[in-house]
Amino acid sequence: MTIANPDQELKTRHRAMWASGDYASMVETFLSPLGPVLADACRIGTGMRVLDVAAGSGNASIPAAERGASVVASDLTPELLDAGQARAESMGLKLEWVEADAERLPFPDRDFEVVMSCIGAMFAPHHQPVADELVRVCQPGGTIGMANWTPEGMIGALFRMMKPFAPPPPPGAEPPPQWGSEEHIRALFGDRVTFTTLERRVLEITAFQHPLDYGEHFKNLYGPTITALGNARRNEREAEFDAAFEAFCHEWNLGTEEEARFEQEYLLAVATRD
C-alpha cells in the first residue's frame, strides 16, 4: 500500500493555489513597483550572481537582470515561471528559471552573492526552513533581501478576513504576514546575519476606480482568495464571504467611492550574511 506524503500533498496544493489565478496579471496591475525597490535595496549590479526565491513571474528577477546581474529565478509554481520567462524574453533579457521549493532549494551552499524574495518566500508554510535555506545558499558577506507584507497592514488584514472561510491550514503552517514582523524575521535569521535595513514602507494602489473593484480583482486573480472563495461556496457561505470582502474594501479605501486608493504596508528587510 502506498502511504501518502503529507508534505508532498501540501506542496501540490500550494502549486494549484498559485496557478489557479493570474498572479502575473496582478503584478502588472499594481505590484510591479516592489521589484525595483528590492533590487535597488540589495544594490544589485553588473555581474552579480543573484537568486530570487519564490520569484513568481519575476517581479524582482527581471529588474535584477536589467541591472546586469546573472539571475536565477526559482518558484514552486511552473505556470508563474513560464509567464515570467515569456515577459523576460519579450524584453530581450536572459534569466535562468528553475522550479524549486523555498524550503528545500536545489542549489549549493554559498552559491549566490545576493539572495532575495519579493512577496514570495513569505508564503511557504514553514518559516524557519525558508530562512535557513536563504542563509545557506548566500555567500558570507553577501546580501539577503526581502519585501514582506506586514501583519498590521492591509494584506495582513485581508488574510485575517479570509481565514474563517478558507480551508484549515496544515499542521505547523505559519501565517505569511508574520514575515513582516521585525521581531519574527530577526528570530528566524538569528545571529547568522546583520540587518542593514528593517524599514516599513507603503505600496500605494490607485489602479481601481471603485473600492469594490479591488475585491473583484482579488477574487478573480489571487490564488489565496480564489481558494477561500471556493471553500466558502462549498460550505454555502459565498454571500457571507462577499459581504465581508465588501466591508474590507470600504474599510481600507483611503480615497473616494469614485476614485479608490489603498495603501499596502510591507517590511523591507536587507541583511549581510555573516
pLDDT at residue 72 tops 90: yes
% of the chain at pLDDT higher than 70:
98
Confidence of residue 171 (pLDDT cuts 50, 70, 90): confident
Which candidate, 14, 218, 47, places its Cα nearest to that of 121? 14
Would 108 be classed as within a structural domain?
yes
pLDDT at residue 4 tops 80: no
Q: Beta 193-205 vs 138-149: how paired, if at all?
A: unpaired
Would 234 be classed as within a structural domain?
no
pLDDT recorded at residue 5: 53
**How many distinct structural domains can be found in the chain?**
1
| Average pLDDT score over residue span 53-70 | 98
DSSP annotation string for 147-185:
EEE-SSSHHHHHHHHHTTTSPPPPTT---GGGGG-HHHH
Q: Which domain holds residue 200?
A: 6-204+264-273
Would 104 be classed as within a structural domain?
yes
**Residues 91 and 64 sit within 8 Å (Cβ to Cβ):** no
pLDDT at residue 167 tops 60: yes
**Residues 27 and 59 sit within 8 Å (Cβ to Cβ):** yes
Confidence of residue 68 (pLDDT cuts 50, 70, 90): very high
Would 242 be classed as within a structural domain?
no
| Average pLDDT score over residue span 50-64 | 98
pLDDT recorded at residue 15: 92
Which candidate, 15, 75, 22, 30, places its Cα nearest to that of 202? 30
Mean pLDDT of the chain: 96
| Average pLDDT score over residue span 152-156 | 98
Alpha carbons 18 and 9: distance in angstroms, whole number: 15
| Average pLDDT score over residue span 93-112 | 98
CATH of the domain at 15: 3.40.50.150
% of the chain at pLDDT higher than 90:
94
Would 227 be classed as within a structural domain?
no
For residue 222, what are the contacts with CB-CB under 8 A and spacing of at least 6? Answer: 21, 23, 26
**Exposure string (b/e) for 201-220, b if CB count within 10 Å is 16 or more?**
eebebebbebbbebbebbbe
Would 236 be classed as within a structural domain?
no
Alpha carbons 23 and 57: distance in angstroms, whole number: 8
pLDDT recorded at residue 6: 58
Confidence of residue 59 (pLDDT cuts 50, 70, 90): very high
Per-state percent for the chain, helix, strand, coil, to nearest 5: 45, 20, 30
pLDDT at residue 1 tops 60: no
Grid cell digits, residue 239: 454571500
